[in-house]
Amino acid sequence: MKVLVINAGSSSLKYQLIETDTEEVLAKGLCERIGLEGSKLTHSPENKDDYVKEQEMPTHTTAVQLVLEALVDPEHGVIEHIDEISAVGHRVLHAGQVYSDSVIVNDDVKKVVKDCFPLGPLHNPANLIGIEACEEAMPGKPQVAVFDTAFGQSMQPKAYMYAIPYKFYEKYGIRKYGFHGTSHKFVSGRTIEFADLDKSSCKVIVCHLGNGASISASIGGKCVDTSMGLTPLEGLIMGTRSGDIDAAVVQFLANNENLSVEEVLNILNKESGVLGISGVSSDFRDLSAAAEDGNERAQVALDAFIYRVAKYIGSYVAAMNGVDAIAFTGGIGENDCATRGKICEYLGYLGVNIDPENNSKRGEEMYISTPDSKVKVMVIPTNEELAIARETLALVK
Ligand code: AMP
């Protein structure tokens, strides 16, 4: 069965066509600058050259139509007819407290996505537009919504409540939701299989370290805590996001720099993190190079990132009263051996023992801990598109 996976952003749309029988990616691509000047589609079919089409895309519906045209194109396509696509799986940011699993899209689901616009103001409107564009281009084709917040729904109130007046939770649903849920679910599930852990009781920590970074704790595959909050701003230090911060900083900056709350939040989301501390880059490759050249702020940024991850791991071990396995994933978690190694240097108290030779490899599924390490530590590459295709298949087959 062929599943089209769609990740719609406000002015972009990423897609993959996945053959679920073999889990092979038949084609993937990206529509950029939708609704702006200079929009283009980059289509990468399997075993064929990339194809770039520069064409006006005033709406997401046009973008979806161009994607479908590329998929059936006699020269660049990978299927003969759109009917070969059995279903569409959409990445959707926020489902509030309504869905703890993926669902087949109907009017009720679309209403929930819409009701959650205030909770995901940048992503949810784009996600809904993506769904409606596919409905228009492929009427009657089953569509599945896979929510980034679903995995976090198994958290208990003690983990998700913010200590602010309860009425704000009741009135607006202000609480910790957690994000990257599709990745955390996929990687924790794969960790359990890979390490042959007890499915019902194993304690797993997943460190999703990329430009956006988050960490989750799960028992028996169910999330008990995760670092992102009401929005993806909370938790770890990220490429450009501050992560945890004293909320009073917002007022201080607003007053002293004459900024609005929105402007301060923009700084905390887009100009902070390792970029903010270092002034060099949000990219770990640039930061490592700068630190090696003696740039002290780049070194502080790296050290602060590593320290924050180590602190979260410690707090989740305490929350679960132990841990069986720790998995690294995301661009940094999968590839940055030095950062992984330094995080693990903090974990000696857990009996973590890292094999330096294994930890010098990148990008593959593997143990980086020694066989006698008390906690298994591994790299498990994430694959959110495949996870979305699997969830879609499970609901429509
Ligand atoms: P992601 O958001 O998951 O794509 O991750 C992006 C981050 O991964 C960036 O900070 C990259 O610098 C980092 N990254 C990707 N490849 C490598 C690598 N080979 N070595 C170090 N960092 C890497």
Choose the residue to mutate in 30, 184, 285, 286 for probing ligand 1, maximizing ligand atoms within 8 Å of C-beta.
285
Of all protein residues, whose CA lies closest to atom 9 belonging to ligand 1?
283
Residue (of 290, 262, 261) closest to 275 by Cα position: 290
Domain ranges, ordered by start, for the chain: 2-147, 198-379
- The enclosing H or E element of 267 equals helix 261-270
Ligand 1 nearest atom to the CA of residue 286, by list position: 12
CA of 363 to the centre of ligand 1 (A): 10
Could you read off the pLDDT tens digit of each residue along the chain, which spans 397 residues?
999 999 998 899 999 999 999 999 999 999 999 999 999 999 999 999 999 999 999 999 999 999 999 999 999 999 999 999 999 999 999 999 999 999 999 999 999 999 999 999 889 999 999 999 999 999 999 999 999 999 999 999 999 999 999 999 999 999 999 999 999 999 999 999 999 999 999 999 999 999 999 999 999 999 999 999 999 999 999 999 999 999 999 999 999 999 999 999 999 999 999 999 999 999 999 999 999 999 999 999 999 999 999 999 999 999 999 999 999 999 999 999 999 999 999 999 999 999 999 999 998 999 999 999 999 999 999 999 999 999 999 999 8
CA of 135 to the centre of ligand 1 (A): 35
Q: Is the dihedral of CA 315, 327, 122, 108 positive or negative?
A: negative
- For 360, other C-beta atoms within 10 Å of its C-beta total 11
For the domain with range 2-147, which CATH number is right: 3.30.420.40, 3.40.50.960, 3.90.180.10, 3.20.20.70? 3.30.420.40
Alpha-carbon dihedral angle through residues 183, 184, 190, 192, given to the nearest 10 degrees: 180
To the question of pTM greater than 0.85 for the whole model, the response is: yes
Of all protein residues, whose CA lies closest to atom 18 belonging to ligand 1?
335
Residue positions annotated with a catalytic role: 148
Residue (of 213, 221, 277, 264) closest to 243 by Cα position: 213
Q: Structurally, what CATH architecture does the domain formed by 198-379 represent?
A: 2-Layer Sandwich (3.30)
